[in-house]
Amino acid sequence: MASIPERIAVSVVVCAYNEGRHLDRLLASLECQTLQPREVIVVDDGSTDRTAAIAMAYGARTIRVPHRGPAVGRNVGAVAAKGEILVFADGDMSCHPEYVERLARPIAAGAAVGTFTADIFVGHPANAWARSYGAIRRLGFPRLLPESFPDRWDNFRAVSRPAFLAVGGYDDVGYGEDRTLAPKLGELALKAPGARCCHYHPDSPREIFENARWIGRGHDAGHLAHPVRDNLPTTALRRALRDIARGHPLRVLAARQIYSAGFLLGLADRRLGRSHVK
């Protein structure tokens, strides 16, 4: 793989809310990168657990802010960053050693304003709750996106920092914020093959419920044709039976009911004007 000029500096930005259970794994993986980031910035988004303490123990530049959600947190990190390229990582991820380099290389070469990876895998495929969540969200398993995924997408994982700042970063719309950048940039992200990472899905009933509630509150939920009908208990049961017939674990029966309950509560939050923040 062609090397990146040493003058290209990469800042990894992590917006983390109560990620104490996972953050150690992510930060350890970032220490093993073939292209070492100039800095790792962890924006502690109002966490009530050990997120900030873990970040500081790894030497990450740690910025503590009130809980506002990933759009605001990533924007704060981007403004504070010193690198020419921003790589965004979630607190519950782990990254292959070439993750940063493969995302940054096309940007450094001037081939794209930003990149994404389709090489995303479930980090704990043996967990039945995680597998059930994948069925609910209609994601692949254990590979979330197919190898045939298009070469362009509106979900950036890395981007030129000047370009990001010039358009004001992400819009604070709740769930779906990571797809608000492309329309403002006027360009889709370019696929970076081999930028492999693992994502640790919601792996408990509580996490499935909270994730669904966040999605229900978000901007994207307002564009669904039948958000209530599609999340009624009877609909959840029918879809769970179909999932089981396709080989998914029996736990999907409970997972779908939990997800639908969380989503409907999120819709109610949204219609009552409550915060869309997770």
Domains of the chain: 10-134+141-199 (3.90.550.10), 205-271 (no CATH)
Query: How many angstroms separate the CA atoms of 52 and 113, rounded?
Result: 31
Whether 122 and 49 have beta carbons less than 8 Å apart is answered as no
Write down the pTM of the prediction: 0.92
Neighbouring CB atoms inside 10 A of 32's CB total 12
DSSP category for residue 185: H
DSSP category for residue 19: -
Query: How many angstroms separate the CA atoms of 202 and 36, rounded?
Result: 29
Per-residue confidence in pLDDT tens, the chain, 278 aa: 545 555 689 999 999 999 999 999 999 999 999 999 999 999 999 999 999 999 999 999 999 999 999 999 999 999 999 999 999 999 999 999 999 999 999 999 999 999 999 999 999 999 999 999 999 998 888 999 999 999 999 999 999 999 999 999 999 998 999 999 999 999 999 999 999 999 998 999 999 999 999 999 988 887 889 999 999 999 999 999 999 999 999 999 999 999 999 999 999 998 888 777 76
Query: How many angstroms separate the CA atoms of 84 and 62, rounded?
Result: 19
Q: What is the DSSP string of 235-272?
A: HHHHHHHHHHHTT--TTHHHHHHHHHHHHHHHHHHHHT
Query: How many angstroms separate the CA atoms of 19 and 210, rounded?
Result: 14
Query: How many angstroms separate the CA atoms of 61 and 52, rounded?
Result: 10
Q: How many Cα atoms occupy the beta-carbon half-sphere of 193 within 13 Å?
A: 6
